[in-house]
Amino acid sequence: MRFCKFCGQEVKDGMSFCPGCGRPCEDGGGAGPGNSFGQAGAGGNQNPKKDWREYLTMENIERYAPVAALVPVVMMLVVGIVGWLFLLLFGYYGLGYTIGRIIVGLLKFVFCIAVLAAAGGLVYVAVKTKDINLVKVWVAPAATVAAFISCLGIAFSWTAVAWIFGLISVALGLEMLSRITILGNPMDSAMNPRVAFEMYRQYYRDYRAKYPTTKDLERAGMASPTSSYFDGSGIELFGYTLLAGLVSAVTCGIAAPWMICKIYQWRISHTVINGRRLTFDGTGASLLGHWILWEILTVITCGIYTFFAHVALRKWELGHTYIDGEPVMPNTGASSFDGNSFQYFGYSLLGGLLVLLTCGIASPWVMCMLQGWDTKHQIINNRRLTFSGSGLGFLGEWIIIALLTLITCGLYSSWGIVRMNKYIIRHTDFC
């Protein structure tokens, strides 16, 4: 007679897996608990090979499957980001667009199947180990079923279905994440939204304590007069962006250099580095000649020159950026950008691959990587800048920006850019 050393369940001869916990029996025979999994006894295997079925235990399904109730949010973000990336790279036509549609379709299918499997697993656990007459036993399975219906709504563009069932599943999923997955309580335990709320609030407080904003430091009386911050607002950027779009459209793009300078002047004048406010003296007339040349080269090279144009524009912008109030002669090289286009192309290519391979999850880390490269090549009034932000530190901001931009169908983008600028400048200093 054999017994599982993990749960004590009797394991009959010839069985490959324990009927109680599902762990593999790899010894092939022998008596006593020592031989259950080949851990003791003559010829026993001391290090049995892991099998994926080892993790499909009743306990693991019950504890981790409820997380599937939150999948609609993840699916919406991932599918939206991947679709946007392919649309940005290839537009609405060509092989790239077709490949993008196929990949997005496969992602939708994978998400739907994963949530359906989680729902089936929770139903199986309920039937096998719980009192099916209790209503609270079926809360977790019902939440994952609602998540599955929401995922179908996202996959087939049933907007009302996706939102209604998504809100239900996410609300229940947040409570179950704290009660079942984090605290380890059984899924038929009593729901307690208050405990979940307190837990998430504490996580938020810990995160803000580790990554304080400038306003947090000011409230606590810890803000330094030499701190860095960005004090522009989203409504201002929205107004400038709307104005730039209208003027550029009316003038068939001729006024674009003037509108770009207007936005640059707004952004740079609201930037303070180590207590020193910056200023910008570039004009649309001085940018016009460069702009026309860059557009011609971009058309001739079928878009390849875009990477070179970006760096050229950065060089022009930094060449007209100074510290307000410091006597520096313009056009003397006191302010400059010394990064090159090949470096920018390499970092952009690497960042794009990381975002694509991780379905957008690596976006905060990619943003910080690109910003780190850009900032270290900036020189203002003969002072080089440095960036100390991290992907983990920007993660919370990125989630808020992505969700609000998605929910508002892009209207939040101006506020999102300002929010990102605040994070970037807060972590920028003079060397």
Instruction: Kindly give, in sequence order, each residue whose CB lies less than 8 Å from that of residue 253, ignoring residues fewer than 6 positions away.
Output: none
Amino acid type, 98: T
Q: How confident is the model at residue 410 (pLDDT cuts 50, 70, 90)?
A: confident
Predicted confidence (pLDDT) per residue in 139-168, tens digit = 999 999 999 999 999 999 898 999 999 999
Give me the pLDDT at residue 401, please.
Answer: 87
Average pLDDT over residues 68-83: 86
Ramachandran area for residue 340 (φ above 0: left; ψ -120 to 50: alpha; else beta): beta
Q: What is the mean pLDDT of the chain?
A: 82
Instruction: Kindly give, in sequence order, each residue whose CB lies less than 8 Å from that of residue 429, ignoring residues fewer than 6 positions away.
Output: 228, 273, 274, 385, 386, 388
Q: Is a pLDDT exceeding 50 seen at residue 45?
A: no
Question: Which carries the bigger pLDDT value, residue 89 or residue 206?
Answer: 206
3-state secondary structure of 312: helix
Predicted confidence (pLDDT) per residue in 123-137, tens digit = 999 998 888 889 999
Give me the pLDDT at residue 28, please.
Answer: 42
CA 70 to CA 68: how far, in whole Å? 5
CA 72 to CA 150: how far, in whole Å? 6
Handedness of CA 345, 347, 350, 355 (dihedral sign): negative
Put simply, whether the predicted model's pTM sits higher than 0.85 gets the answer no
Q: What percent of the chain has pLDDT over 70?
A: 81
Q: Is a pLDDT exceeding 80 seen at residue 89?
A: no
